[in-house]
Structure 1
Amino acid sequence: MENHVSFPALASLAKTYPQAASSLFATYNDLLYAQRWEDLTVIDLPERKRGALRGCRPNSKDTLFVLPCSMSETVSTSWLSNALKALDEPGGIYLAISTEDSSIVYYRISRGFAKPPL
C-alpha cells in the first residue's frame, strides 16, 4: 500500500488510524481510478477514528461524501448517526463497505426514511 501512487494523499490518516487504513485505501482508489470521481479529497473524522472522502461523480457538480469501513467492523445506528453529524451532510452519505479481497459495496445512508428514486 505504501508504494502505491495514491498513498501520499492518504498517508497521514493511514498512520493516524491504521485500523481503518485498508478500507480508506481501497475506497479511495476505487472512486479515483474505477469510478473516475473528480475533486476527490480526504477528510479527517477524529470522532470516528478514520478518514472519509469528498468528491464528485464524473460530469456532476454535486459534492458527495463517502465513509469507508470494512466488513469486519461493527456498525451501529448510533455510529452512522454520529458519522452523518460529523460530515454535516443533511442529504446523506455513502457507506463504502470493503472486504479483504478489495470488493466494495456502497450503501446510501440518510437521516430518517428516504424514498428511493424511480
Structure 2
Amino acid sequence: MAALAREDGARGQEQGRRGCEHYDRGCLLKAPCCDKLYTCRLCHDNKEDHQLDRFKVKEVQCVNCEKIQHAQKFCEECSTLFGEYYCSICHLFDKDKKQYHCESCGICRYCM
C-alpha cells in the first residue's frame, strides 16, 4: 500500500521531537472524514473546513516505516512506540503526562 502524503507540518526526529506543536507522537492519524494524514486532530482542524472526530479514527501511519495500520500503541511493522500514553477510545497518543481516560467525561484528562 502506498504511503499517503502528510498534510501538516509534522516535525521529525531531527528536531528532537516527533509530532507537532500539540503532541509528541510517532504516528500520523488517518482522518476518516477526508482520508488525509495529520499529526493530530488540532492540526487537521486548523487546515480543513471540517473537524476530525477523534473517536472515529481507526488507522494511523508510522512516521518511521510509513505503514498504515490499525490504531495501537506500537507499530506492527517496525515496533516504533507511537506514544507512551495511548487511549484506544480517544485515539490520543502522547508522552506520558499522567493522562487517564475519564469515563464520566468520555475524554482523556491530565492529572495535576
Normalised by the length of structure 2, the TM-score is 0.36
Normalized per residue, the structure richer in strand is 1
